[in-house]
Amino acid sequence: MADAGSRRASRSPSMAQVAQRAGVSHQTVSRVLNDASLVKEETRLRVLAAIEELGYRRNFAARILATNRSRRIGMVTAHLALHGPSMIALGVQEAGYEAGYDVSLVGLSEFSAELLDNAVDRLSDQAVEAIVVAVAHREAAELTRALHLSVPIVTVQGVAAGTPLSASIDQEAGAALAVGHLLDLGHRHVAHLAGPADWVEAEQRRAGWRRAHEERGLLPGPELAGDWSPASGHRAGLLVAGDPQVTAVFAGNDSMALGLLNALHERGRRVPDDVSVVGFDDVPEAAYFWPSLTTVSQDFAELGRRALSVALGAVRGEDETVLDPIRPTLTVRRSTAAPRG
């Protein structure tokens, strides 16, 4: 991990380093980059030689030297096709707009160390004042910490409680709320359709599922593997439909809950008469599932505001404030009821 940071530092020289190598001022480098006519030819050539030697890339920073402020925040996220990542990105962008900041977004279809590094490079070229990283993969937090940048980095997904420079929604509390609702209705062992094992948020929701049972002295029902997609929910639903012992399921997101509902309908298991179902995310379509889906709602707008506030506070050099996670809420609809008998 440290090697990635070393590579990043070695190929991202600053304008100050160029100035030092050329033996000129920071402002002189700026004038050369902007083709100002006040620079002697000998000095200009020396600066250009330093730029070439160090591998400095001309970027947006050269054009905002007068104020040293770009009023631009960078953001890296992955899997924008999913509801959660897309809404987090929207929340940060809207918060930036309200604060008078542009947000430059780099979306990754998949996540890897190389793609994260490339995304940060692109944002650095735009002279962003801070970078928000919203990637929930387990590896992402470690890789993000390994980056050595001159601007603050704020994390907003897959965040553990007490993490500095972060903003988050309490995934475990949301899951415990959903499962507690089912247990309080009288279901004794709630099954869980889990998200991918390499997503921190999937693990946090799994922990909430287990916690709700432990708090009531109960054993959890079976755990089923999913990948956030409706197709994985459908596959799990076929298994649930064949197990009369399962009377309630907590799905790790609404998309998997949709596939689960479809499979139960196909096999003649009625929801909620035979099986109650709770999702997570409260997508706009959840109110129109059949039956309408009980699910966990997350305040993505507040998450965006907090992420931006943390980033701008760090830019101003303020002491790091550790924020409590945002608590989700439960929206109860028609997919849950007390078990029959």
The secondary structure of 92-139, three-state, reads HHHHHHHCCCEEEEEEECCCCHHHHHHHHHHHHCCCCCEEEEECCEHH
Residues of the chain with CATH 1.10.260.40: 14-63
Give first-to-last CA distance, the chain, whole Å.
Answer: 56
In angstroms, the CA 89 to CA 136 distance is: 13
Buried b (16+ CB within 10 A) or exposed e, 74-95: bbbbbbbebbbbebbbbbbbbb
The CATH fold assigned to 14-63 is 434 Repressor (Amino-terminal Domain) (1.10.260)
Residues of the chain with CATH 3.40.50.2300: 72-169+300-327, 171-298
Give CATH for domain 171-298: 3.40.50.2300
In angstroms, the CA 25 to CA 278 distance is: 62
pLDDT of residue 57: 64
The one-letter amino acid at 160 = A
The CATH fold assigned to 72-169+300-327 is Rossmann fold (3.40.50)
Q: Residue 199 pairs with which residues in a beta bridge? A: 137
In angstroms, the CA 123 to CA 273 distance is: 52
Helix, strand, or coil (residue 67): coil
In angstroms, the CA 277 to CA 250 distance is: 6
Q: Residue 73 pairs with which residues in a beta bridge? A: 103, 130
Q: Residue 297 pairs with which residues in a beta bridge? A: 281, 329
pLDDT < 70: residue spans in the chain: 1-12, 26-27, 30, 34-37, 57-69
CA distances from 222 to 4, 192, 202, 250 (A): 40, 6, 16, 11
pLDDT of residue 10: 44
The one-letter amino acid at 284 = P
In angstroms, the CA 79 to CA 83 distance is: 9
User: Residues 40-97: pLDDT tens digits?
Assistant: 888 888 888 888 888 776 554 444 544 456 789 999 998 888 899 999 999 999 999 9
Which helix (H) or strand (E) covers residue 73, if one does? strand 72-78
